[in-house]
Amino acid sequence: MKSFILTTAIVITTLACQSFALPFEDDLSYTKKLLAQEPIFQAAQQINILSWEESYAKASSLVGQMTLEQKVNITTGVGWQSGPCVGNSGRTTGPDFPELCLQDSPLGIRFTDGVSSGVAGINAAASFDREAIRKRGEYMGQEFRAKGAHVQLGPSMNMLRAPEGGRNWEAFGEDPFLVGVASAETIIGIQSQGVMAVAKHLIGNEQETNRLVHSANIDERTVQEVYLWPFKQAVDAGVASVMCAYNKINGVYACESDYAINKLLKDQLGFKGFVQSDWSATHSTVDSANHGLDMTMPGDISFNSGDSYFGRNLTNAVRSGQVNEDRVTDMAMRIVAAWYKLGQDQSFPAVNIDSFRPNLDQHINVQGDHKDLIRQMGAASTVLLKNEDNILPLRTSGIKKLAVIGSDAGPNPHGLNCEDHGCNAGSLAQGWGSGTARYPYLITPIDGIRNRAGNAMDITEHLRDNDFHIAAELASQANVAIVFVNSDSGEEFITVEGHVGDRNNLELWHDGDALIKAVADANQNTIVVVHSVGPILMPWSNHPNIKAIVLPGLPGQESGNSLADILFGDVNPSGRLPYTIASKYEDYPAKIDHGLSFTYSEGINIGYRWFDKNNIKPLYEFGYGLSYTNFEYKNFALNQINLESQGDVEVQASVTIQNTGMFDGAEIPQVYITFPEIAQEPPQLLRGFEKVYLSKGVEQTVTFTFKKSELSYYSIDSHQWVVPQGEFSVHFGSSSRNIRGTQKFTLI
């Protein structure tokens, strides 16, 4: 493979400071100080991304000069809080190899200021927009590079298996195909800026409860078709690193699992980069090294323990014959090759952050104009679930009085940023834990609505949740009432209002259901806005006075602006659900398990597949989302290029989409495939989607191509992927339950 050049420029602008939600003077002073700073870095103008072959050739020359101790040193983190980043690898001199800075998080840079805090991964997935997802990766890569971080610890790619899962919001939803596409596009975007991306967590980290000790027992076919699928897309995208999980996989810790790391990742998928542990997820020296772990993070056995499973223990294991030095050479080669691959030997910026000693942080503002992309992505990922009587978009000329109700519409009374966002006060725009980034500012919904409406309507507000009488009275006096509610979750090292990472249930927080009922009982034009980490129960969804339900998810710093763009029709909603919203909790196939060993008993029937297989009607299905306009699907066609199941099979399917409504907008045609009966697959599997922008009256033909990867199933008899013979059905739809047309073909 030939190397190629990507040209990038980071343009730094001052941050527009209107509409800040900054309730306290200390926040305001901090922001003024930040805005006054001049950018003092200069981004690389050319980033040379090498092939793995070229990278290994260069790595061989450097690693070949290293002693055993030097090779071990670069595989061993320097210890928790012993360097400027959340993880720092060891360095060498003579030959020289730098200390690598590994930094959270999947949505932005943790533990520093002057950075953007954008949409969560679950929102990126809800956009169903490949280009926007890649651009999100690009701007994050620019910011990480400008801060001197060699490695971004993301994307998170674990599946939304149990709807209460605490870190579901960091990743991309319940469908392997969607998660795979979003992961690959994110990785390509990040690495286009010369920053290493980290695909995490391999595998089985679908809940926070007992994550350090539990065993996720997953059968072979389910591993292949569901949980490994996105990692295949990540490897194909050239990801530099993979992080192994805390949990055990079929009884063996993930970071010493020969099955997961060597057999699946390195042998089957052909991964060439390095495998790093989650923080303190290393449990041994010999087994971890021999079974594929290449770097232990943050280095110490436990935080600040003063010893490491690698370091001198790994050196001693080599000298005693328990670990072959060739394995250590391979570990070092993988790390150095990834460094060369991303061109980090060429004028990479010096680390200018300090995660644990703010006085040493250089406080460089790297946001550029990224707020514009964040605002666009926030709107693009907002899902319109209900819109009766065309109450949306809001028409300023027809609404004299608008009531905005609920604490989720307003600022956090405790300040802009609580530590790792481990609180749920004010408007929710990201979850909590290591997957967060500090807000440089937060445009709250009430700010966004007021700014957009101007003086065109009288807006009254009640930014509290627990005084239902006042909420109802205010709603009764308004033409339209918008009630804001939320549901939060995060990582298990922080407990928020009794939730230890995973949510205790799928109910709205702060008695949100009762608040909605109080408002809806008092106002015949009620709009519900839900900021949520994932699926919630909606017992109020059919209330006759609730005319619209809007799901902005976790939109980040531009939350209020992107929401106002949707509410007032400046942006036509096009977001789609990346998960299923059930009518009742019992309908979901998997729940949080509190045992120390449990089986993924639903197998390959995760998410909507379970609902389809068991004929369970969801409240809102996977892929669902409304628009302000209408789209017609027509001219369904198949171009069967090769129908030999054992050959280079390729099938092309096409559909014409026409905007038949009154507004310009975007449609997201989705393609689901039903396999021949011999494959024993779920009723239908997502195998394609595209976002199509259409002016009113305009039509466009969209073509999807399916090759072996889309037409195969994993055979437990042959232990390999197989293209089955028989009849396939190709379903074109606007969601998994709204199929507009079907075409069939047969493989022989």
Contacts of 242 (CB under 8 A, 6+ apart): 198, 199, 200, 202, 231, 234, 265, 271, 273, 274, 275, 276
Using CA atoms, how far apart are residues 132 and 120, in angstroms rounded to an integer?
13
CB 208 within 8 A of CB 492: yes
- Give the CA radius of gyration of the chain: 25
Q: Is 532 exposed, middle or buried (0-12, 13-18, 19+ CB in 10 A)?
A: buried
Q: Is 720 exposed, middle or buried (0-12, 13-18, 19+ CB in 10 A)?
A: exposed
Using CA atoms, how far apart are residues 16 and 371, in angstroms rounded to an integer?
9
Residue 206 CA from chain centroid, whole number:
13
CB 430 within 8 A of CB 105: no
Contacts of 717 (CB under 8 A, 6+ apart): none
Using CA atoms, how far apart are residues 41 and 480, in angstroms rounded to an integer?
49
CB 687 within 8 A of CB 671: yes
Contacts of 611 (CB under 8 A, 6+ apart): 580, 582, 587, 617, 618, 621
- Quick one: which of 585, 528, 554, 559 has its CA closest to 172? 554
Dihedral sign for Cα atoms in the order 451, 456, 462, 464: negative
Q: Are strands 248-249 and 252-253 parallel, antiparallel or unpaired?
A: antiparallel
Residue 43: strand, helix, or coil? coil
Structure tokens at 409: 């519409």
Using CA atoms, how far apart are residues 606 and 685, in angstroms rounded to an integer?
11
Catalytic one of 27, 113, 129, 278: 278
How many C-beta atoms surround the C-beta of residue 278 within 10 A?
Answer: 22
- What would the 3-class secondary structure string for 126-168 be? HCCCHHHHHHHHHHHHHHHHHCCCCEECCCECCCCCCCCCCCH
**Active-site residue 612, yes or no?**
no
Please identify which residue in the block is written with the tokens 């009762």. Answer: 514
Using CA atoms, how far apart are residues 347 and 150, in angstroms rounded to an integer?
12
Q: Are strands 215-217 and 383-387 parallel, antiparallel or unpaired?
A: unpaired
Using CA atoms, how far apart are residues 7 and 48, in angstroms rounded to an integer?
9
- CA geometry: angle 86, 88, 352, nearest 5 deg: 75
Contacts of 511 (CB under 8 A, 6+ apart): 465, 466
Q: How far apart are the first and last CA of the chain?
A: 34
SS3 content of the chain, % helix, strand, coil (to 5): 30, 20, 50
Q: Give the amino acid at 376.
A: Q
- Residues known to be catalytic: 278
